[in-house]
Amino acid sequence: APSGRFAYSVNHSAGTVSGFTIDPMTGVLTPIASSPVNSLGGPWAMAIDPGTGVVFVTERRGRIKFVEPGGTVGTVTGVPEVAYGGQGGLGDFVLAPIARSPVLDRRLVYLSWAEPGPGGTRGAAVARAGLACAEHASCRLQNLQVIWRQEPKTTGQGHYSHRIVFA
């Protein structure tokens, strides 16, 4: 059973995304999901749901894809506008820690991205949203609420260090 510690890997040459659990005592990696995902464009961050084995992957241009254990690739809609360029774009996607569930529907998620600002500026933002996955291979973000926003915004196209971790 997954311990809550995971490692993720994107192999661009092979076109695969893989998820592994990490044994906290030995550090041994055990594969839990590996899927071909030739449809990914510029993957940036990954999250895995331990109850379903679904791997979510953000693409810097502003898309979130997910890969089911059987290899089906789906798209999450309702993603906010991102300021893509350089290292900036869509960043993290994290499922809120809850008791393990065999379904994704009605989950709370957090995401970060570089957002456009006035006068060509950009800055990081973090939001929470509900994840609605009532249909197979289709999820959407609903009731997105920004909970943190970088102020002041800056010029340039950095990635603004907007990682999300629950501790």
Please give the DSSP secondary-structure letter assigned to residue 152.
S
pLDDT band for position 149 (50/70/90)?
very high
- Name the residue with higher pLDDT: 18 or 107: 107
CA dihedral 74, 54, 123, 161 (to 10 degrees): -140
Percent of the chain clearing pLDDT 70 (strictly above): 78
Highest mean pLDDT among 2-6, 26-30, 42-46, 75-79: 75-79
- Name the residue with higher pLDDT: 154 or 148: 148
Angle at CA of residue 134, ends 129 and 135, nearest 5°: 120
pLDDT digits (tens, 9 = 90+) for 8-44: 666 655 666 666 777 777 877 777 666 555 566 667 7
